[in-house]
């Protein structure tokens, strides 16, 4: 155990909504009509089988809410001001918001949370402003979302906030038979033949996979649909946040409202078993993108995230191979049905095909290519746009369509097709229709590029500014604010070394109830399960 008590000595609570600190009574939510989802589920029963469509998890509901006409302002004695509003969409499992007018001054901050305060967003500030004045949030659990804007005294009164729509999430995170024969699909509801990305897939690829999984993201399209995507390296190796996905993921969506989630990986892998993966809530999310290039001929879309990837984030930028050489074998990493990250492997080399005008790699299956599909795992709807890696761990395509699905804990042996990276590279006639101008901006002409890690490995468990424990002394609870470590665990010990509590602390806001503990000194041991680096902090409990 490495005692680094001084690292967390200066505790900060400014990321917590101010209304919580002041114990302000919540505002009355604007309640939307209940949605009849029976027809939606019937459509999903068909569309979920089509990988050329993004996977639907929610319904977009137009609603105008702004600072001038809605919500409630509270003036504080120190000159600060708080604006709060709430929207309820009955029976929603989760909710997110789209701002068609978003402009925050320096000194203003915005946060979202749910009714029981168990899910809280990252904090938005003037750093999230963009030219489009549009922003789409990641989703918050529950059927009511609270929006809180805090403006410090002396801040210029130049703020524009107007919500144009919310997404009523009706699946992701809950399983409930709402209508006969049609379950409400969510976490762990991808097919049982899937392999969590931490499952072994072969000694010749497992080491590569540890870096490559950090390139893959779950992509929220801001319209109630999901795809998969991957961060891409470029020949400048300058960490420009390019994201590669499928061209069909652009349909009826605006990249300004897109948001992405990295490192959603189960710490306890399930490998083609009829049991659920362990969830880990992470705050590795970003909002907003700009379209750089797309082309239907190889079904690719390249966007650039509006914000830079924080230097502390343990993600990576994928390498690529534009040679169009036949791979020895291929591996896919993806988020099927909006589920936690999965992996699949095919040992039969893919072949080049033209699928109704789209240039693709064919994962040969029983109904196309005289093959037997994936040796391990499968892809499903929601895997759309996910990267295909060759034996060297370089991207050679992104998922377009296919008929590979689970049949129990085995897959059905059928095919998948991926748009070919080499075709995407230079098949277009303008920068807006090809990859070469963006991924080789200095014109090296090279055919391959290796992956690049974003965060440099360090021997110490550095927590300053990204991991906070408060309050201390504590009376009712201890909060762990975590915006860096996607696989953080905790154990609370008393003075004689007995373990009192333990659990997962991978959410952005984690609480440990200490109200029933006797007054005294306790030790909170935090462990990054990925690196096994750890930190211990002395906690004082006062009743």
Q: How far apart are alpha carbons 138 and 419 in whole angstroms?
A: 28
Beta bridge partners of 538: 523
* Residues 6 or more apart whose Cβ sits within 8 Å of residue 410: 193, 272
Q: How far apart are alpha carbons 384 and 402 in whole angstroms?
A: 10
Q: How far apart are alpha carbons 342 and 332 in whole angstroms?
A: 8
Q: How far apart are alpha carbons 506 and 490 in whole angstroms?
A: 10
Compute the half-sphere exposure of residue 213: CA atoms within 13 Å on the CB side of its CA.
24
- 452 as an active site residue: the answer is no
- 248 as an active site residue: the answer is yes
Report how many helices (DSSP H) and strands (DSSP E) the chain contains, helices first: 5, 41
Locate tokens 């390296």: which residue? 233
Q: Among the options 384, 386, 424, 507, which is catalytic? A: 384
Q: How far apart are alpha carbons 488 and 315 in whole angstroms?
A: 16
- 525 as an active site residue: the answer is no
Q: Among the options 128, 168, 248, 334, which is catalytic? A: 248
Q: Which two tokens stand for residue 186?
A: 């969510």
Q: How far is CA 283 from CA 386, 426, 484, in A?
A: 21, 36, 7
Q: How far apart are alpha carbons 94 and 289 in whole angstroms?
A: 22
Q: Which two tokens stand for residue 339?
A: 């589920």
Terminal CA-to-CA distance of the chain, rounded, Å? Answer: 29
Pairing of strands 520-528, 488-493: antiparallel
Map residue 255 onto helix, strand or coil: helix
521 upstream amide cis, omega within 30 of 0: no
Q: Which two tokens stand for residue 283?
A: 């705050």
Q: Among the options 299, 321, 339, 528, which is catalytic? A: 299
Please identify every residue annotated as catalytic.
248, 299, 384
């Amino acid at each position: 155990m490495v005692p680094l008590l001084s690292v967390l000595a200066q505790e900060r609570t400014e990321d917590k909504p101010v209304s919580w600190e002041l114990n302000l009574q919540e505002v009355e939510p604007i309640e939307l009509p209940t949605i009849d989802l029976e027809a939606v589920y019937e459509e999903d029963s068909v569309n979920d089988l089509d990988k050329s469509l993004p996977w639907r998890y929610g319904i977009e509901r137009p609603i105008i809410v702004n600072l001038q006409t809605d919500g409630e302002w509270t003036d504080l004695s120190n000159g600060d001001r708080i604006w709060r509003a709430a929207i309820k969409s009955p029976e929603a499992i989760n909710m997110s918001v789209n701002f068609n007018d978003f402009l925050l001054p320096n000194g203003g901050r915005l946060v979202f949370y749910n009714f029981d305060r168990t899910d809280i967003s990252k904090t938005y500030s003037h750093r999230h402003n963009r030219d489009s004045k549009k922003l789409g949030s990641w989703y918050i659990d529950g059927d009511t979302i609270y929006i809180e804007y805090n403006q410090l005294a002396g801040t210029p009164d130049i703020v524009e906030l107007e919500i144009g729509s919310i997404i009523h999430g009706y699946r992701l995170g809950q399983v409930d038979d709402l209508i006969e024969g049609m379950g409400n699909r969510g976490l762990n509801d991808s097919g049982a033949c899937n392999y969590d990305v931490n499952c072994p897939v072969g000694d010749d690829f497992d080491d590569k996979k540890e870096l490559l999984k950090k390139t893959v993201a779950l992509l929220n399209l801001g319209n109630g649909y999901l795809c998969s995507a991957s961060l891409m390296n470029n020949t400048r190796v300058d960490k420009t946040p390019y994201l590669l996905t499928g061209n069909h993921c652009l349909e009826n969506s605006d990249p300004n409202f897109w948001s992405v989630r990295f490192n959603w990986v189960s710490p306890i892998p399930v490998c083609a078993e009829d049991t659920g993966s362990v969830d880990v809530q992470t705050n590795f999310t970003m909002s907003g993108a700009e379209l750089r290039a797309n082309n239907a001929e190889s079904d690719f879309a390249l966007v650039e995230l509006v914000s830079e990837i924080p230097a502390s984030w343990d993600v990576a930028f994928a390498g690529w191979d534009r040679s169009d050489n036949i791979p020895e074998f291929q591996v896919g990493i993806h988020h099927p049905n909006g589920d936690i990250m999965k992996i699949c492997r095919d040992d039969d080399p893919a072949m080049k095909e033209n699928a109704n005008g789209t240039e693709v790699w064919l994962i040969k299956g029983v109904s196309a290519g005289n093959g037997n599909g994936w040796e391990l795992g499968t892809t499903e709807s929601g895997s759309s746009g996910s990267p295909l890696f060759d034996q060297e761990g370089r991207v050679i395509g992104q998922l377009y369509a296919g008929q590979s699905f689970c049949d129990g804990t085995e897959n059905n042996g059928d095919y998948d097709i991926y748009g070919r990276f080499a075709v995407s590279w230079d098949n277009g006639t303008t920068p807006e229709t090809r990859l070469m101008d963006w991924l080789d901006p200095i014109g090296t002409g090279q055919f391959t590029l290796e992956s690049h890690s974003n965060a440099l490995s360090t021997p110490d468990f550095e927590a300053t500014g990204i991991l906070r424990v408060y309050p201390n002394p504590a009376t009712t609870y201890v909060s762990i604010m975590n915006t860096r470590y996607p696989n953080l665990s905790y154990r609370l010990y008393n003075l004689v070394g007995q373990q009192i509590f333990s659990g997962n602390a991978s959410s952005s806001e984690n609480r440990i109830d200490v109200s029933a503990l006797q007054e005294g000194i306790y030790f909170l041991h935090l462990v990054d399960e990925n690196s096994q680096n750890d930190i211990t902090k002395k906690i004082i409990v006062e009743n």
